Structure 1
């Protein structure tokens, strides 16, 4: 959060990217020193000239309406959310935002009249297992296995696409059951995860690993980043589409075999949105997205990527309602619903609902105050 960084005594910036593209020291020192370090990425977002505004879209497809909302601290609110637009719900922590969106609006049975699909996007992946990977979640591991099965046929092998699955017996290493690691339970010590002594961490048996595609074994493929895989699998349109979308949302650095529990909250959220984008029609989508503070922990550059993804959803006809504190994202919304003025018993009041720019005249709104401070 640039507003927090500006108050720091000392800053250490790593980068320039994530994953294999990170790990370098970009800048170190005071806010003044970092601002004048050419290699710094965050310095751009600490300058006033980086404010990029857009003209909000106007409502034109009707509204979702919540009437007399009084759950928890909400004070009998009547609120409208425009269809087909990007709405942010703002206010102090405890002001009633999550209650309004997830406890009331999300449970309204009338939503089915407007939408074919309702997606609640939050950061945790409670269902994520260590056998779930980026490739399996995005549904492109099957076509990759089929590519290897065709290579096996060329070599007169009896291996099938199933043989290249680390989740099924037949081609995987049965010592580690395709995980590449085992848990070493030593007396008096906590269990430690160590490379499988049989396959040496390569997940598959020797017969499967001997099949190559452009010099890569199936294990090698799982170690590739999304960016590297996109260069390797040219000519496979369906696979390329998914790899491209992952790059568009700023996840090109993830490895295909990276397990979902190892992802950060922000990465997990963008991964789920990328999958939704793959399935979504190019236009006239009847999808409602409800999101709870999706930019927590994201670098401002990641927020830019995330905003582009949200705008693409709206372009395709989806409706977005996002609970958010991040001013960088709030500034890109079409409509704002602001609750407050405080949290708990002092919150739950509707301070403003309407086109984003007009909130600046709402004197009671702290969101408006900070938007003015940031030069909106």
Structure 2
């Protein structure tokens, strides 16, 4: 699986390719009719060496593109399906947002992915290569399409650049402004400083923690400096 399949954006993309070329959407799925027969759409060949670690090598027939050569001849906005799946979310959002490849359904999903700070991911990137925080945000992007009222996130900033953390905080603000409840389990000081309410568990970690040692606003936590979290947060905000 990859961000394209997990988010559902591959469905409108396949339909757009099919409509533009007068063929079936199934041709543009790497696990269906359009798959490379040599690697079954995996893009790699696995060689079992018995007691040794299985060796993975790029498929020589499709050169890792996962599709039959005939499928790659079909284009949408001068790009074939393999080239689209190699795009980053940001590139794909622009590609499907305007011009010959304009596909509103795909653009809407891609916008949500970019909104949660995943604009740098490739659409065809295996989910096994994503960090825990990235998978959390991918799930969040999916849930944003539903009518959930409470969002629970476990360290969603994992692997994020500081600029992307700010983008994520902006998204969480919009969810709260829309009347949603957002609960975040997080160690990132920028997230703590941005919260409306903090529940600090401690006093230590592991067996030395597990008790509520503070509950209140970030400002109150900084002012009290009664916990390790309060001390570090005070240093972070410069008080």
**TM-score, normalised with respect to structure 1:** 0.57
The C-alpha deviation readout for 1:194-226, integer Å capped at 9, x for no partner, is 121222222222322221112211112111121
Please show how residues 144-183 of structure 1 align to structure 2 within 5 Å: 144-153=13-22, 159-168=23-32, 170-183=33-46
The runs of 4+ residues in structure 1 deviating greater than 6 Å are none
Return the offset for 1:171. 2.0
Q: How many aligned residue pairs are there?
A: 234
The residue number in structure 2 matching 1:351 is 213
The residue number in structure 1 matching 2:203 is 341
Residue 287 of structure 1 contacts residue 318 of structure 1 at CA under 8 Å; is this kept in 2? yes
The residue number in structure 1 matching 2:175 is 313
Alignment RMSD:
2.2
The residue number in structure 1 matching 2:186 is 324
Higher strand share: 1
Higher helix share: 2
The C-alpha deviation readout for 1:70-118, integer Å capped at 9, x for no partner, is xxxxxxxxxxxxxxxxxxxxxxxxxxxxxxxxxxxxxxxxxxxxxxxxx
Return the offset for 1:255. 1.3
Return the offset for 1:135. 0.7
Residue 16 of structure 2 contacts residue 103 of structure 2 at CA under 8 Å; is this kept in 1? no
Return the offset for 1:182. 0.8
**Gaps (5+ residues) in structure 2?**
none
**Gaps (5+ residues) in structure 1?**
1-131, 154-158, 281-285
- Return the alpha-carbon distance in structure 2 between the equivalents of residues 185 and 349 of structure 1: 49
Q: Which has the higher contact order (CA 8 A, sep 6+)?
A: 1
The C-alpha deviation readout for 1:149-198, integer Å capped at 9, x for no partner, is 11221xxxxx3111211122x22112211111111345775322112122
**Higher radius of gyration, 1 or 2:** 1
Residue 12 of structure 2 contacts residue 106 of structure 2 at CA under 8 Å; is this kept in 1? yes
Return the offset for 1:247. 2.0
Equivalent position to 1:362, from 224, 229, 235: 224
SS in 1 for 2:11: helix
Return the offset for 1:333. 0.3
The C-alpha deviation readout for 1:255-310, integer Å capped at 9, x for no partner, is 11111111122222221112222334xxxxx5222233333343322321221222
Residue 339 of structure 1 contacts residue 352 of structure 1 at CA under 8 Å; is this kept in 2? yes
Equivalent position to 1:240, from 95, 107, 112: 107
**TM-score, normalised with respect to structure 2:** 0.87
The residue number in structure 1 matching 2:8 is 139
The residue number in structure 2 matching 1:249 is 116
